[in-house]
Structure 1
C-alpha cells in the first residue's frame, strides 16, 4: 500500500487554491459562452462578454478571476484503509496547504478571513482557517474537493424550515427575487433539502460542486421530483429577467443544483446558496503516488470577444461636477479616466467616525467631489500597479451613504443594486452610482495605471487607495434622477 505523505497533501491543497484562482471550470465556461450567444439584452451581453474576456485573461496570465479570492471550503473523504504519514493533525496540514497557496509570490491571493468574528475581526494574513468538512469511506485513498467562495455570494445564502405541505418552488422563487444581483449572476444556484438545518446547508454547498448539466437533463427529461424541480426553477428563474449583473436579460442562472436527504416527518428544511460568476472548485484524489496534478484547460474553449464600443462614452473624471452629472442616464456605458478613491466597509466606518469627531482624515485627504470605488484589491505582483480589482457589493455601504453625501462625494462605483433610501439620497444630492462588472477583476485592473495607499494603510485591502484609471468600463446604474437600471432592466425582461 502506498503512503500518502503530509507534504503531498500540503502541495496538492496549495496547487488547487492557485489553480481555481485563475481557471474557471470548463463546464462553467461553456455555460457562459452559451448564455452570451443567446443573450438579447445589450447590457447583459456586454457584462457576460467582460466576464468571459476576464476569464481568458486570467487563464493566460495566471491571476485571480476575482479580487475576492474567497474563503476556502474543503470537502475531504478519508479512506479508512488509507495509509497517511502525518506529523501533525490533518486539519493543520490542510490549512498549511491553504496558507501556502494564498501566499504564493507568483500569484498572491487576497486574504479575506478574519478571526474573532464578533469582536476585533483581525485578518489572519494567510486566508486560514479553511472551512473543512470530513467524511470517511472504506477505500485506501483520500478524495478532496477545494472550493473558494466569495463573500458576495455567500452573503445571499438563505435557510428556512418549511411545513411539510409548503412549496419549495414558491420559497426559492420569492428569495431569488429578493436576492438581487449582489451575488454576481449569472451563476449556479445550489439547493439542499431535508436532513436538519445544518445538513440542508451542507447539501446546498455540496451541490455547487456538481457539473453544469441542466441541458442534458432537459434533453432526457426528469425522472423524479427533484429533477422536475430543477428544471422548473431553472426555466422560471431565468424568466424573472434579473440577468447578468442584475442588468436585465435572459440568463440569471446557468444551472440549478439540488441535493436532498431524508428528514423528520414534521419538517422540511430547505437551504439555498448561490455560486457567482467567479465559480471556483476542483476535485482530486491522493493515492500515495505524489501530489495531485492539475491539467491546464484548452484555451480554445474561450471565444475571442471584444467589448462593443458603439455606444460607449469616454469621460474625464476631472471634468465632472454636480452640475454636469445629469448628462449621464441610467444604462449608459462609460469609460472613465482620471483619479478615483477606494473605500470598503471598514474605511467607511472610519470616515464616518472621523467626521463625527470633527477630525481631518489622515494626510488631510479630501473626499469632496471625488468618486469612491468600493473595492479591496489583490496585492500586485511583478510590474503590476495593482492586482485584480473588481467591485464589492454596494449595499453594504448603504448605511454610510448619507454621511458620505454630506461630505460632498461626487459619486460611487460598485456592483449590484442599491436600496431605495440610498437611491433617494442619490437623487436628493444629484449624485450618481456606477457599476463595474463583478467577475471581471483582472480585466478592470488593466485600466488602473497607478495605485497608492492614501489613508488607513494598516487595514490592508480595506485601506483607502487612490487609483489613476484609463478607460475603466462602468455602467450608470442610478442616475441623478434616481432611475435605477436594476429596476428598469429586470422589469423589461421579466416574462413570468
Structure 2
C-alpha cells in the first residue's frame, strides 16, 4: 500500500503551478515554431514572434507567460490502494497547493477568482478554489493533470446538443468564426463528443490538456474515425484564415484534440473549448517516494528570434491628438511612448456610474487626449516596475465605449481581439481608434513599462486604474478612426487567399 504524505501532495500542486506559469509545454513551442516559419501574413508572423520571444523571456526570468494566470483545473486519478497521511481532505490539499503557488513571493501569480459570482463578485485573494475532478482507479499511485486556464479562452467555450444525424464538422465550422480572437489563437481546440451535456464539456477540457501531435498524425495518416475528424477539422479551421490574434493568416489552430464517450441513442452532445497561446498544463504521478519533480526544459529548445522595429511608426502619447490618429491605418504597427491609463471591467463600471450621475472622476483620472489600456497586471516582484501586463479581451468593454468616448475626451483604447459592432460604431462616430497588443506576450509588454502607479480604485486589486509610462510599447491598429476593422477584413482576405473553403464571414457578434 502506498502512503501519500500531505506535504508532498501540496508541494507538488504548488510546484506544478509555478512551473507551468513560466514554462510553455515543449510541444507547443515546437508547433508554434513550425507555424511561425511557414506563416506568410506579416501581422500574424509578428504576433507569433512576440509570443515566442515572450515565452523564452519567461523561461529565463521565471515570470508568468500571461498576466491572466488562470483558474486552476485539476483531474485526479487516485489509486484504490493509496493511503493518505493527511489532516486535510484531498480538495483542501489541492487548494492549499494553489494558495501556496499563487502567493509565492518570488513569482507572484495574479489572483483572478471571484466568490459570489452572481452577486458581489469578491476576489478570494489567493486564486482558490480550484475546479477539481476526482476518479478512483485501480492501483497504488495518484495521477494528476493540472492546468491554469485563462479566462479569455474559457469565455469562448461552446456546447451544442446535435441530432444524431447532424454534422460535427458543420457545427464547428459555423461556430469557430463566432469565437473571434478573444481566445488568443494560435492554440488548440479541445472537443468532447458524447456522454451527457456535462460529460462532453469535461472531455473537451481534458482534450485541451493533451500534447500537440497533429504533424505526426499527418505524416502517418489516420487510423480511425476520430483521427480522420481531427485532420479534417485542422485543415478546415485553418482555412478560415483567422490567423494569429485574428490578424489573418495560415495558422489559427496548432492542433485539434478530440475525446469521446458513449452517449444516448437520441443525443449527440458536442463541446468545444479552445486553449490559448498561453497554454499551461502538466502531468505528474505520486508514488509515495516524495513530491513530484519537474525538470526544466533547455533554453536551446526555444528558437532565437529577434524582433526589429521595421517600418513601425513611433508615437508620443503625451502630445497625441485627433489629427494624429486620423492618419493611422488598420494593420499598421505603432511603438507607443508616454503616459497612458489602464482600466478594465470593474473600473469601467465605476467610471460609467460616475459619469451618469454627473460626478467627477477620481483625481488623477483624466482621459482627455489619452489612451486607455485594458489590462489587469500581475503584481511586481524584486526590481520590477510592474509584473506581466498583457491585454485583456476588449469586447467586454464594448457596452461602456460610447459613453466614455462621449464624456471623457478619450482618444483611443488598447486591448486584445476584435471589437463588436456597437463599439466600432462608437469609434467611428467619435473618430477614435482601437489598438491591439499581443495576447500571450505579457512579460514582453511589461518590459516597455518604465513607471507604474495606482491612481484610482486601489481596492479593486488588479482591476484598479494604473498610470503607466511606456517606451516603445508595440501595438497594431485594429480599428481606425473611420471604423475599418482588421479583424473583419484580414481573415476574409486570407480565407480567400487560402482558397480551400467558401468565404465565411468571420464575426464574433
**Deviation string for 1:141-197 (max 9, x for gaps)?**
000011000000000000010000101000011110111100000001000000000
**Equivalent residue for 2:507?**
none
Displacement of 1:364: 5.3
Alignment of 1:149 onto 2:146: no
**Equivalent residue for 2:189?**
189
Displacement of 1:321: 0.3
**Deviation string for 1:7-29 (max 9, x for gaps)?**
00000000001000000000000
Structure 2: distance between partners of 1:94 and 1:484: 44
**Deviation string for 1:422-469 (max 9, x for gaps)?**
112111111100000000000000000010000000000010000000
CA contact (8 A) 2:364 2:456 kept: no
Structure 2: distance between partners of 1:463 and 1:294: 35
The residue correspondences of 1:61-460 to structure 2 (distance < 5 A) are: 61-363=61-363, 365-406=365-406, 407-460=408-461
Structure 1: distance between partners of 2:448 and 2:364: 27
Give the secondary-structure state (helix, strand or coil) at the position aligned to 2:322: coil
CA contact (8 A) 2:364 2:455 kept: no
TM superposition score normalised by structure 2: 0.97
Structure 2: distance between partners of 1:385 and 1:232: 46
Give the secondary-structure state (helix, strand or coil) at the position aligned to 2:401: helix
Structure 2: distance between partners of 1:380 and 1:437: 20
CA contact (8 A) 1:247 1:486 kept: yes
Give the secondary-structure state (helix, strand or coil) at the position aligned to 2:383: coil
Structure 2: distance between partners of 1:209 and 1:371: 37
Displacement of 1:322: 1.1
CA contact (8 A) 1:361 1:455 kept: no
Between the two proteins, the alignment pairs up a number of residues equal to 496
CA contact (8 A) 2:371 2:412 kept: yes
Give the secondary-structure state (helix, strand or coil) at the position aligned to 1:358: coil
Structure 2: distance between partners of 1:328 and 1:307: 22
**Deviation string for 1:219-248 (max 9, x for gaps)?**
111122111110000001001100000000
**Equivalent residue for 1:485?**
486
**Equivalent residue for 1:466?**
467
CA contact (8 A) 1:46 1:308 kept: no
Decide whether aligned partners of structure 1 residues 364 and 41 sit closer, same or farther in structure 2, where only a CA change above 3 A counts. closer
CA contact (8 A) 1:185 1:244 kept: yes
Structure 1: distance between partners of 2:127 and 2:364: 32
**Equivalent residue for 1:58?**
58
Give the secondary-structure state (helix, strand or coil) at the position aligned to 1:327: coil
**Deviation string for 1:258-292 (max 9, x for gaps)?**
00001000010000000000000000000111100
Give the secondary-structure state (helix, strand or coil) at the position aligned to 1:363: coil
Q: Which runs of 5+ in 1 are unaligned?
A: none
Give the secondary-structure state (helix, strand or coil) at the position aligned to 1:263: coil
TM superposition score normalised by structure 1: 0.99
Give the secondary-structure state (helix, strand or coil) at the position aligned to 1:139: coil
**Equivalent residue for 2:504?**
none
Structure 2: distance between partners of 1:114 and 1:359: 28
Displacement of 1:333: 0.2
CA contact (8 A) 1:74 1:133 kept: yes
Structure 2: distance between partners of 1:219 and 1:49: 26
Give the secondary-structure state (helix, strand or coil) at the position aligned to 1:235: helix
CA contact (8 A) 2:188 2:256 kept: yes
Structure 1: distance between partners of 2:361 and 2:128: 32
**Equivalent residue for 2:33?**
33
Give the secondary-structure state (helix, strand or coil) at the position aligned to 2:438: coil
Structure 2: distance between partners of 1:442 and 1:368: 28
Structure 1: distance between partners of 2:117 and 2:310: 47
Displacement of 1:89: 1.1
Give the secondary-structure state (helix, strand or coil) at the position aligned to 1:201: helix
Displacement of 1:365: 2.2
Displacement of 1:2: 4.2
Structure 1: distance between partners of 2:315 and 2:245: 22
Structure 2: distance between partners of 1:3 and 1:265: 43
**Deviation string for 1:367-390 (max 9, x for gaps)?**
222101000000000010100000
